[in-house]
Amino acid sequence: MGRFVLDKVSKSFGDAQVIPPLDLTIEDGEFTVFVGPSGCGKSTLLRLIAGLEDVTSGTVNIDGKEMTDVPPAKRGLSMVFQSYALYPHMSVRKNIAFPLRMAKMDKAEIKKRVEDAASVLNLTDYLDRRPGQLSGGQRQRVAIGRAIVREPSAFLFDEPLSNLDAALRVGMRLEISEMHKRLATTMIYVTHDQVEAMTMADKIVVLQAGVIEQVGSPLELYRSPRNTFVAGFIGSPKMNLLKGAEAEKHGATTIGIRPEHISISHESGMWEGVVGVSEHLGSDSFFHVQCDAFEHPLTVRATGEVELNYGAKIFLTPDLAHLHKFDADGLRL
């Protein structure tokens, strides 16, 4: 089990309100990702759920039980920290066994569980080493091992992959998703990386300045962002958000069009522009195009290897079916 209901939860540090009162429900078994720019309060929100910070007001309810004032040790949750936070003076075996030791489990059962977790995480050969003798990826596995042995009602992840290099990060991302499918336990995952959010989440919670901007599945957020912040934050490269006369033609203050929803032509199109910097990834090509109609350059995506010369004149046409319109307050029309 692992169902969370936050009711009007808020957090202030002194006079500074980091999280204004918010409501949020996380269903049992869901993979929920808190995403937002740094300083948006996503880690604080996770720490409120964990009990590592006390809420200023509101209640935290876990599996139908009021847990607002229950210390972290008694909430039955596991957490993986950004810094891994392994116990440097203990071997890998003792690190993984620590939560079980605290739960006063008997020695034989601890040994069995630790060895099972180690074999799942490919740590069997490293059980007698100290964390200081392991690579970043291995430390990450130990941290995950320590979290899973206890069979918690939910896993909390605080930017667990941000200290790993890019290649390792993709691999660990898959392993965590795999683990979620296998264990079917609630996971709450904090990241500033929208790619991690899109690829792993069942449900994404987009935060800005402590306020929930939108809650939804990755594709819901991609298809119909509730406001310009979510529109700009979700999707890579970013959605083009355009103002001015062109936007007013569509009856909006701001219009948004994703790079993948613009077609390129040499002969004719809706907007005329000049090609700037090109980025070639092989599978895709991205062009930065300065159009006369807009102040800032647009990002345009073409599939495969497409060559456009710097300074070439081209025409762009947006796919109107995927055009997003926003009002003066930035809200979706």
Among 99, 216, 235, 259, binds other proteins (CB under 8 A): 99
Size of the site for other proteins (CB under 8 A): 25
Among 6, 9, 35, 50, binds other proteins (CB under 8 A): 50
* Nearest CB to other proteins, comparing residues 89 and 296: 89
Among 77, 187, 197, 314, binds other proteins (CB under 8 A): 77
* Nearest CB to other proteins, comparing residues 12 and 263: 12
Distance CA 86, CA 100 (A): 15
Q: Is 81 in the site for other proteins (CB under 8 A)?
A: yes
Q: Is 85 in the site for other proteins (CB under 8 A)?
A: yes
Among 27, 57, 71, 116, binds other proteins (CB under 8 A): 71
Closest CA to 192 of 206, 171, 213, 179: 206
Q: How would DSSP label each residue in 126-142?
A: GTTS-GGGS-HHHHHHH
Q: Is 88 in the site for other proteins (CB under 8 A)?
A: yes
Distance CA 89, CA 313 (A): 64
Distance CA 133, CA 126 (A): 9
Residue listed under structure tokens 């993984």: 96
Sequence-distant (6+) residues with CB within 8 A of 253 are 243, 247, 326, 327, 328
Closest CA to 310 of 297, 329, 294, 295: 297
Q: Is 89 in the site for other proteins (CB under 8 A)?
A: yes
- x-marked contacts with other proteins along 120-159 as a string, rule CB under 8 A: --------------------------x---x-----x---
* Nearest CB to other proteins, comparing residues 8 and 107: 107
Is residue 204 a contact partner of residue 212, using CB atoms and an 8 Å limit? no
Footprint of other proteins (CB under 8 A): 50-52, 71-74, 77-79, 81-83, 85-89, 98-99, 102-103, 146, 150, 156
